[in-house]
A and B are shown apart, each in its own frame.
Chain A
Amino acid sequence: GAGVSQSPRYKVAKRGQDVALRCDPISGHVSLFWYQQALGQGPEFLTYFQNEAQLDKSGLPSDRFFAERPEGSVSTLKIQRTQQEDSAVYLCASSFIWRGEYEQYFGPGTRLTVT
Chain B
Amino acid sequence: DAKTTQPTSMDCAEGRAANLPCNHSTISGNEYVYWYRQIHSQGPQYIIHGLKNNETNEMASLIITEDRKSSTLILPHATLRDTAVYYCIHIYNQGGKLIFGQGTELSVKP
Q: Which residues of A contact B (CB under 8 A)?
A: 4, 31, 33, 35, 41-45, 48, 56, 59, 91, 93, 95, 97, 102-109
| A102 contacts across to B, CB distance below 8 A | 94-95
Q: How large is the interface on B (under 10, 10 to 19, 20 to 34, 35 or more residues)?
A: 20 to 34
Residue pairs across A and B with CB atoms within 8 Å: the count is 51
Chain A residue at minimal CB-CB distance from B42 = A108
Chain B residue at minimal CB-CB distance from A106 = B43
**Smallest CB–CB gap between A31 and chain B, Å?**
6
B97 at the interface (CB under 8 A from A): yes
**Smallest CB–CB gap between A84 and chain B, Å?**
22
Of B22-30, B44-52, B67-75, the one with at least 4 CB within 8 A of chain A: B44-52
**Smallest CB–CB gap between A43 and chain B, Å?**
5
Contact B46 A41 (CB under 8 A): no
Contact A41 B97 (CB under 8 A): no
The distance in angstroms between the C-alpha atoms of A108 and B40, with both chains bound, is: 10
Contact B45 A48 (CB under 8 A): no
The distance in angstroms between the C-alpha atoms of A104 and B37, with both chains bound, is: 12
**Smallest CB–CB gap between B24 and chain A, Å?**
15
Of B11-19, B76-84, B99-107, the one with at least 4 CB within 8 A of chain A: B99-107
| A41 contacts across to B, CB distance below 8 A | 102
